[in-house]
Amino acid sequence: MDHILTEDLDIVAIQETIKNDFTDSELKELSGNRDFNWMWVPAKGHSGGILTGVRTDELEVEHFHLASFFLTVLIRHRSTNFRFWVLNIYGPAQHSLSEDFIIEVKEFCNNETLPILMGVISI
């Protein structure tokens, strides 16, 4: 995860972590001891898992929500007060769940007026 440091990232959205939990030391190592607010969705068995991190020096996490297929985070830029959502999305592996997946994302987007940034992985 040297990429987080070399690119000086403020927002990190990782999918397919295949982890149920993260220790403080793992998260500090991941961010190079920079101050990040981390949220995650545990993996289901040997697949899935979502990790989202927001660097807190310029950005503030105002709210986060776990849905069936995504983790959404409302972020505010501290100096400009610009607010936006980040959706870290993990599409279903079972095609029978595709319609539920599309409906969940569509409902979130249709009910929101702030800008939305989203990333998707679907297997």
pLDDT digits (tens, 9 = 90+) for 20-57: 999 999 999 989 889 999 999 888 877 788 999 999 99
Give the residue-averaged pLDDT of 92-118.
92
User: Looking at the domain that runs over 2-121, which CATH code has it been given?
Assistant: 3.60.10.10
What is the SS3 assignment for 45-83? Answer: CCECCEEEEEECCCEEEEEEEECCCEEEEEEEECCCCCE
Q: Is the pLDDT of residue 123 over 60?
A: no
For a pLDDT cut of 90, what percent of the chain falls above it? 61
Q: What is the pLDDT of residue 25?
A: 93
